[in-house]
Amino acid sequence: MKKTIIFRSFTFLLLLIVAAAIEDDVKCLQGVKKSLQDPNQNLESWVFTNISVSFICKQLNGVSCWNEQESRIISLQLPSMGLAGQIPESLQYCRSLQSLELPGNDLSGSIPTQICNWLPYLTTLDLSSNRFSGQIPPEIANCRFLNNLILNDNQFSGRIPYGLGQLDRIRKFSVANNALTGLIPSDLNKYPSEDFSGNNGLCGESIGKRCGKLSSKSLAIIIAAGVLGAAGSILLAFGVWWWCILPSQRKKRKGYEEKGNWIQRLRSHRLLQVTLFQKPIVKVKLNDLMAATNNFDPENIVNSTKTGESYKAVLSDGSTLSIKRLTICKLNQKQFKIEMHKLGQLRHSNLVPLLGFCLVEDEKLLVYKHMPNGSLHSLLHTSTVSLDWPTRLRIAIGSARGLAWLHHGSDPPYIHQYISSNVILLDDDMEPRVTDFGLSRLLCSGSGSVSGHDSNDCFGELGYIAPEFSGSSSVRTTKSDVYSFGVVLLELVTGEKGVEVGNGGEGFKGNLVDWVSQLTVSGRAQDAIDKRLLGRGYDNEMVRFFKLGSSCVASRPKERPSLYSVYESLKTMGEQHGFSEQINEFPAMNYGKLD
């Protein structure tokens, strides 16, 4: 009875935490709806009597979240809805927003100069085909993660800010069909002339027009090009909508309708045998997994990451497993099975072993060994027990050993892509084991062990994303893993969350790396160390650890060490605590091949 009361109290506390986490995003969306005119009532479904994660993230038109358990909004897409008004100031409360797409509406006014402060992680800004006016604010150059800046078919005037040319991540850029004037910045000459067409006052190399007085012939050519470009843009926009956006919207709606029926689909295949890599004495069927998880009851969820939710499963013989429901898979069934058997062969003392899988129509369930002490994230940020420094150091060493083995000891090497404190789990002996390795091959559109072009499914976890890695236009490398693990090291030594700094930040608004950088620049790096750890004889060692973590999150990938070097540095620290030294398990042939 006492355990039941404690469990219910803990569940209630978690619900309060989740409700608090989405408070800002709800405030953001309420402000958007209130400030915009909606004559077609496309935002009529935006009611806020229910502010649960499942409702806000899945039921509101145009709103997308990071994953099924992460309440933070990643995308706001409201195209061609007839919306009018100005860009809402309430967007400042959607700080995790990465994609703001408002094309084809009747919006007006200017772009707020604070937009990059409001939305520091913005990767896509699409304001095309509206009635925006005024100058393009130079402050947009502060949106350093921008991949797509689409401002065509508005009424912008003045010069194109020179700072836009310094945004080297931009792959899609357009200011066509505005009233812009002056010289096009030389750094923007890499974009085709169509991206600048329809601005009679512009001149520069990219459009083949010298700055100065125009001849009547040149003017006629530009006008003709503008007309053709506008027609082409309309046809292209229609084609993209018809063949790309519309099918995607239909598929998404279908997914929402089927969401509540996935358990029913499993029941219809309950006698299906689960594929296990090590043959058990008694065969396990899907029905056994459903019974062991109480039909995948949400109360049995023990971990949630970008790749999916994991459920605790207690079988009839008393053994415990962890069942991950994969969020999405871009491989066909044959390729999926091949990848599963490859991952099933990866065995290391600091990796969570994949024991098997079950494939039911579009549902893909992965069977892992259960880690009873949960994730590092929960131990650091939700547990009432404070981890001492030797324990944190041991967790860092073991995690680095497992990740370094994936880079340097495995053939072929594996890039993790989803490193965070949520994927570092603790076994019975509090030894760290890394999970979710190899799943980027299943979720991402790119292929290959070491690099590949990724979609938004490969973005990684918020707060752990390397600055050079920006989804569809980036290439995965081992150094992006090093950056993510560096955030984990900083979590261990500061006690703060990677995505946002809490009470220790003294009112700081931003992620852990930005906070650490700010303190380091001001000469107050030691102030970042967890106050609960200071004065216990480890201060100098924690400073060295802090510097190692800071080197991993260097903005330039070439300045970051390899994971093998990180492991060696941590192992040297561990020797002073009597931690046992492991045998050499990293073949020399892989040391330099990846970094």
CATH number where 288 lies: 3.30.200.20
Looking at the 3D structure of the chain, how many domains does it have? Answer: 2
Res. 485: pLDDT tops 80: yes
Question: Whole-angstrom Cα distance, residue 302 to residue 312?
Answer: 6
Whether 140 is covered by a domain: the verdict is no
pLDDT given at position 246? 56
Instruction: Categorize the per-residue pLDDT at 368 as very low, low, confident or very high, splitting at 50, 70 and 90.
Output: very high
Instruction: Categorize the per-residue pLDDT at 217 as very low, low, confident or very high, splitting at 50, 70 and 90.
Output: low
pLDDT given at position 521? 85
Question: Whole-angstrom Cα distance, residue 372 to residue 406?
Answer: 23
The DSSP bridge partners found for residue 209 are 204
Pair 566, 467 in one domain:
yes
In sequence order, the 6+-apart residues with CB closer than 8 A to the CB of 103 are 79, 80, 126, 127, 128, 129, 130, 150
Instruction: Categorize the per-residue pLDDT at 189 as very low, low, confident or very high, splitting at 50, 70 and 90.
Output: confident
Residue type, 101: E
Query: Of 369, 399, 432, which marks where a domain is finished?
Result: 369
Res. 393: pLDDT tops 90: yes
Quote the percentage of the chain above a pLDDT of 70: 79
Whether 346 is covered by a domain: the verdict is yes
For 347-475, where are the alpha helices, taking DSSP H only?
376-381, 389-404, 440-443
- The whole-number average pLDDT for the span 527-545 is 93
Query: Of 343, 369, 395, which marks where a domain is finished?
Result: 369
> Higher pLDDT residue, 83 or 454?
83
Question: Whole-angstrom Cα distance, residue 191 to residue 165?
Answer: 10
pLDDT given at position 81? 92
Res. 255: pLDDT tops 50: no
Look at residues 364, 366, 363 and name the one whose alpha carbon lies nearest to residue 355: 366
Res. 77: pLDDT tops 50: yes
Contact 322, 368 (CB under 8 A): yes
Pair 559, 471 in one domain:
yes
Question: Whole-angstrom Cα distance, residue 243 to residue 229?
Answer: 20
How high is the mean pLDDT of the chain? 82
Contact 126, 150 (CB under 8 A): yes
Whether 10 is covered by a domain: the verdict is no
Instruction: Categorize the per-residue pLDDT at 325 as very low, low, confident or very high, splitting at 50, 70 and 90.
Output: very high
The DSSP bridge partners found for residue 275 are 357
Instruction: Categorize the per-residue pLDDT at 529 as very low, low, confident or very high, splitting at 50, 70 and 90.
Output: very high
pLDDT given at position 330? 73
Pair 476, 532 in one domain:
yes
Question: Whole-angstrom Cα distance, residue 529 to residue 536?
Answer: 13
Question: Whole-angstrom Cα distance, residue 287 to residue 260?
Answer: 18
Lookup: tokens for 500: 């946002």
- Please state which of the ranges 209-213, 287-291, 422-426, 439-443 shows the lowest mean pLDDT: 209-213
- Structural domain boundaries enclosing 271: 261-369
- The whole-number average pLDDT for the span 31-49 is 89
pLDDT given at position 164? 87
- The whole-number average pLDDT for the span 583-593 is 49
In sequence order, the 6+-apart residues with CB closer than 8 A to the CB of 1 are none
The dihedral built from the CA positions of residue 198, 199, 201 and 206, taken in this order, carries a sign that is negative
Whether 434 is covered by a domain: the verdict is yes
The DSSP bridge partners found for residue 158 are 180
Pair 323, 465 in one domain:
no
Pair 352, 324 in one domain:
yes
Question: Whole-angstrom Cα distance, residue 279 to residue 445?
Answer: 32
**Which residue reads 């089927």 in tokens?**
258
Instruction: Categorize the per-residue pLDDT at 102 as very low, low, confident or very high, splitting at 50, 70 and 90.
Output: very high
Question: Whole-angstrom Cα distance, residue 537 to residue 573?
Answer: 14
Instruction: Categorize the per-residue pLDDT at 88 as very low, low, confident or very high, splitting at 50, 70 and 90.
Output: very high
Res. 12: pLDDT tops 80: no
Pair 407, 315 in one domain:
no
Pair 313, 340 in one domain:
yes
CA 31 to mean position of chain CA atoms = 25
